[in-house]
Structure 1
Amino acid sequence: MTDRHRAAISDTDRADARAIWDFHQMGHQLRPCSAAITLGSLDLGVATGTANLYHSGMFPVVVFTGDTSSATQERFPRGEATHYREHAISLGVPDEAILLEPKATNTGQNIGFSREVLENAGIAVTTLLLISMPYMQRRAYATCRKLWPEVEPVCTSQPLSFDEYVTTHDDEKQLIDMLMGDMERVMEYPKRGFAIEQHVPERVRDAFDRLRTRGYDSWLLPT
Structure 2
Amino acid sequence: MISAQAWADAQRLWDFQQMGHEVRPCSVAIGLGSHDLGVADTTADLYHRGMAPLIVFTGATSPTTRDRMPRGEAEHYRQRAVELGVPPEAILVEQRARNTGENIRFSRALLEERHVLVSSVLLVSKPYEERRAYATACKLWPGVEWVSASTPMTLTEYVESIQDARLVIDMLVGAQQRLMIYPQQGFMIEQYIPEGVTAAYERLRDAGFTSRLVPDAATRD
Q: Normalising by the residue count of structure 1, what TM-score does the alignment of the two structures yield?
A: 0.96
- Say yes or no: does 1:105 pair with 2:87: no
Q: Secondary structure at the match of 1:167?
A: helix
Could you tell me how far apart the structure 2 residues matched to 1:75 and 1:25 are?
Answer: 27
| Displacement after TM superposition at 1:48 (Å) | 0.6
**Where has structure 1 moved over 4 Å in runs of 4 or more?**
none
Could you tell me how far apart the structure 2 residues matched to 1:152 and 1:12 are?
Answer: 37
Could you tell me how far apart the structure 2 residues matched to 1:46 and 1:108 are?
Answer: 17
Provide the aligned C-alpha RMSD in A: 0.6
Q: Secondary structure at the match of 2:215?
A: coil
- Say yes or no: does 1:217 pair with 2:217: no
Which amino acid in the other structure matches residue 98 of structure 1?
I
Could you tell me how far apart the structure 2 residues matched to 1:71 and 1:22 are?
Answer: 25
Which amino acid in the other structure matches residue 201 of structure 2?
F
Could you tell me how far apart the structure 2 residues matched to 1:34 and 1:145 are?
Answer: 16
Which amino acid in the other structure matches residue 118 of structure 2?
V
Which amino acid in the other structure matches residue 164 of structure 1?
E
How many residues end up aligned between the 2 structures? 216
| Displacement after TM superposition at 1:177 (Å) | 0.3
1:54 equivalent among 23, 47, 64:
47
Any residues of structure 2 matched to 1:134-149 within 5 Å, and which?
134-149=127-142
Could you tell me how far apart the structure 2 residues matched to 1:136 and 1:99 are?
Answer: 22
Q: Secondary structure at the match of 2:29?
A: strand
Q: Secondary structure at the match of 2:89?
A: helix
Q: Secondary structure at the match of 1:200?
A: coil
Which amino acid in the other structure matches residue 159 of structure 2?
V
| Displacement after TM superposition at 1:93 (Å) | 0.3
Could you tell me how far apart the structure 2 residues matched to 1:170 and 1:161 are?
Answer: 14
Q: Cα deviation per residue 1:120-140 (whole Å; 9 max; x = unaligned)?
A: 111100011000100111011
- Say yes or no: does 1:125 pair with 2:118: yes
| Displacement after TM superposition at 1:171 (Å) | 1.0
* Alignment match, 1:183: 176
Q: Secondary structure at the match of 1:191?
A: helix
Any residues of structure 2 matched to 1:168-207 within 5 Å, and which?
168-207=161-200
Please list every run of 5 or more consecutive structure 1 residues that lacks an aligned counterpart in the other structure.
1-7
| Displacement after TM superposition at 1:170 (Å) | 2.1
Q: Normalising by the residue count of structure 2, what TM-score does the alignment of the two structures yield?
A: 0.97
Q: Secondary structure at the match of 1:165?
A: helix
| Displacement after TM superposition at 1:11 (Å) | 1.4
- Say yes or no: does 1:26 pair with 2:12: no
1:165 equivalent among 133, 153, 158:
158
Q: Cα deviation per residue 1:45-80 (whole Å; 9 max; x = unaligned)?
A: 110111111000000001000000011111111110
Could you tell me how far apart the structure 2 residues matched to 1:202 and 1:71 are?
Answer: 32
Which amino acid in the other structure matches residue 215 of structure 1?
G
Please list every run of 5 or more consecutive structure 2 residues that lacks an aligned counterpart in the other structure.
217-221
| Displacement after TM superposition at 1:165 (Å) | 0.8
Which amino acid in the other structure matches residue 190 of structure 1?
P
Could you tell me how far apart the structure 2 residues matched to 1:18 and 1:77 are?
Answer: 33
* Alignment match, 1:85: 78
Percent identity at matched positions?
56
* Alignment match, 1:3: none
Could you tell me how far apart the structure 2 residues matched to 1:119 and 1:148 are?
Answer: 12
Q: Secondary structure at the match of 1:174?
A: helix
